[in-house]
Structure 1
C-alpha cells in the first residue's frame, strides 16, 4: 500500500507540472473536445485524420504540439485516477487501521470532481473559475495523497513540546493562507494577468488609480475565455492582489519557520529550515517571472515549488499534531 501511495503521490506531482505547462503554453484548448482529441483517442497524425479534424472543428484547426500537450496531461491524469481507485479498493480489502476508509473515499470523490472540472475546462472554453478550481483540485489531490502516505509511515521524532499545540494552530492557519495565495495565483493565471504589471516591486504608472476589485473578481459572460476577457485595469488588479498576497504569505510563513527553528526539536528545526529555504526559492521565482516576462521554465517551476511548499506545510502540521498528542500524553 505504501509503495502504491508513493507512486500515486509522485504521479500527482507530474500531473500538476504537466497541467501548468499545458496552461502556460496556451494549450488548454489544444483538443476542443473531451475526453478524446478531435474525436480520436490519440492526436490525429495522418493527413486524412487531420483533414477530418479540421473539418469537424473549423474554428479551431489542429495544432499538433498543443494537442499533444493537452492529451499527455490527460493520459497522466487518467492513470493517476486509476491508481487512486486501486488504493481505495486495496484499503477496503485490507482494512489497515492506519488508513480509515474516509480518506480514500474522499479522494475518489475528489478525483471524479477533478475529471468533471477537466471536462468543463474544455466544454466551457477555459472559464476562469473552472480553470482555477481545476488547479486547486489538483493541489487537493496531492495533499490527500501525501497525508495518506504520512499515515502509513512511522511517526518521526520522540520530542515532547509544550508549545506544540500553539505551533499547530499557527501551522493550520499557514496552510489556509498558502491555499488562498495559490487560489489568487490560479485566478491570475486563468485570466492571463501574469504580465499585467511588468515592473517590480510596484506596478508601472499610477496603478493605484486603476484598482478595480469588483471587476477583477467577476466572471464576464463570453463565448470563449482563451487569452482572457477582462480589461487591463481588472487584470492589473488581479496581479497586484496576488503580489500583496505573496507578501502576506511570505511574512507569515517566514515567521512560522523561524518559530520552528527556535523549538528544542531537531525534527521541527529541520522542518523550519526546509520551509524557509523553499519559501525564499518561491519568492525568487515569482520575482523572476515579472522581471524576465514569464519564461516558461520559471513559470512552471513556480507552480512546482508552490506544490512543494504546500507539502512541507502539510508535513509540519501532521508532525506537530503528533507532538501535541505526546506532550499531552
Structure 2
C-alpha cells in the first residue's frame, strides 16, 4: 500500500499542508538546536532582537544593544539561531492561515475546516509560549510546554495531511473485529510516546541531558543517588534566570534516569503493538509495523549515541526529530485503524 493517494483522489490543499508539515519539522529542529546551543535567551526581548528585526550586527548597533541590556550582552553565535527560529515559526503561521483560507474556499464535500481552524489557533498559542520562553527566562514549565507544542503542531498538520490524502485501509468484514481490538492499544501507544516526549522535554529544559554521562550505568552505578521530589518539582518559581538550570545533581540524575526508564517502557510497548499489528495478517498493517520498528530502532540508537558520544548537537537534534517521526507513526496508526473501511469483497490491502 502506497503512502500517498493518487493526485486525482486527494482533497484540495494536500500539497500545501504537506509542505507546512515539513516546515514544522524544520521549525522543531531549529528550536531544538537553539536550545542545545544555549541560545534560548540569545535575544532578551521579543519579538525583536535587541530592538532589531534580525539582530544587531554593526559595531554601533552592538554597542547600543549592550548599553540597553548590560546583563545580557550580544553574543552573535546565539542571536542568529534564536531569530531564525522565530522567523521560521512566523512563516509556519502564514502557512496555516493559507491552509485555512484554502479550506474555506474549497467546495469539495468532506473538506476539513474545523481542524485547520484549530491548528491556526494552536499556532497562535504556540507563539505565545515562544514569547513566554523568553520573557520568563527559560522557566522549565514553559520550555517543556513549548517543546510539546511543537510536537503537537507537527502531529496536527500530519493528521490534516492524512485526511486530505483521502486514503483508507480496505479490510474484509472477517477482520473488522480484530482491527477494532487494536484501537485501544494504538491509543495507549500514542499516550506512551507523548509521555516519553514530555520526559525528554523536562530533561532538556532542566539541563539534565548530561547528568548520566555513561551507559548503561549512570555515573558508574545502576541506581545512583537521585532526588525525584526536586527533579519533578513543577512549582518552581517564576523569576530566576533558568539558563543552565538551577537543580542540584541528584535532581537532574532523577530526571535523566526516568527518561531512560521511559525509553525502555516505550520501546517494549511499541514492539508489543507491532506484534499485534502483524497478527492482523493485513499487508498494510505489516508494513506499518515494520515502519514503526525501524523508526524505533533508529531512535533508540540515537538515544544511546547521545550518551556514548557525549551529547553532540547533531545527534541530539536528530534524536528529537526522529522522536517526532515516531510520534507521527502513532498518529498514522490511529488514523488508519479508526478510518478503515470494510471491504465486503474480502480483499486485504
Task: Give yes or no for TM over 0.5.
Answer: yes
Q: Which aligned pairs between 1:92-107 and structure 2 lie closer than 5 A? A: 92-107=104-119
Q: Which aligned pairs between 1:28-177 and structure 2 lie closer than 5 A? A: 28-160=40-172, 161=175, 162-177=177-192
Aligned to 1:272: 289
Q: Which aligned pairs between 1:246-325 and structure 2 lie closer than 5 A? A: 246-323=263-340, 325=341
- 1:252 positional shift: 0.1
**What are structure 1's unaligned runs of at least 5 residues?**
none
- 1:157 positional shift: 3.7
Aligned to 1:11: 23
> Would you say 1:220 and 2:232 are equivalent positions?
no
RMSD (Å) for aligned C-alpha atoms: 1.7
Q: Tell whether the 8 Å contact from 1:164 to 1:327 is kept in structure 2 after alignment.
A: no
Q: Deviations over 1:174-195 (max 9, x none)?
A: 0000000000000000000011
Runs (4 or more) in structure 1 with deviation over 4 Å come to none
Q: Tell whether the 8 Å contact from 1:32 to 1:122 is kept in structure 2 after alignment.
A: yes
> Which whole-Å CA distance do the structure 2 matches of 1:99 and 1:179 have between them?
28
> Which whole-Å CA distance do the structure 2 matches of 1:270 and 1:299 have between them?
28
Q: CA 1:96 to 1:179, structure 2 compared with 1: closer, same or farther past 3 Å?
A: farther
Q: Deviations over 1:119-158 (max 9, x none)?
A: 0000000000100000110111111111111111132442
**What are structure 2's unaligned runs of at least 5 residues?**
1-12
Partner SS state of residue 217, structure 2 = coil
> Which whole-Å CA distance do the structure 1 matches of 2:35 and 2:344 have between them?
47
Which shows bigger deviation, 161-170 or 137-146? 161-170
Aligned to 1:231: 248
Aligned to 1:184: 199
Which shows bigger deviation, 146-155 or 100-109? 100-109
Partner SS state of residue 52, structure 2 = coil
TM-score (norm 2): 0.90
Partner SS state of residue 141, structure 2 = helix
Which shows bigger deviation, 99-108 or 280-289? 99-108
Which shows bigger deviation, 169-178 or 93-102? 93-102
- 1:318 positional shift: 0.8
- 1:95 positional shift: 4.7
TM-score (norm 1): 0.95
> Which whole-Å CA distance do the structure 2 matches of 1:209 and 1:282 have between them?
25
Give the number of aligned pairs: 328
Partner SS state of residue 195, structure 1 = helix
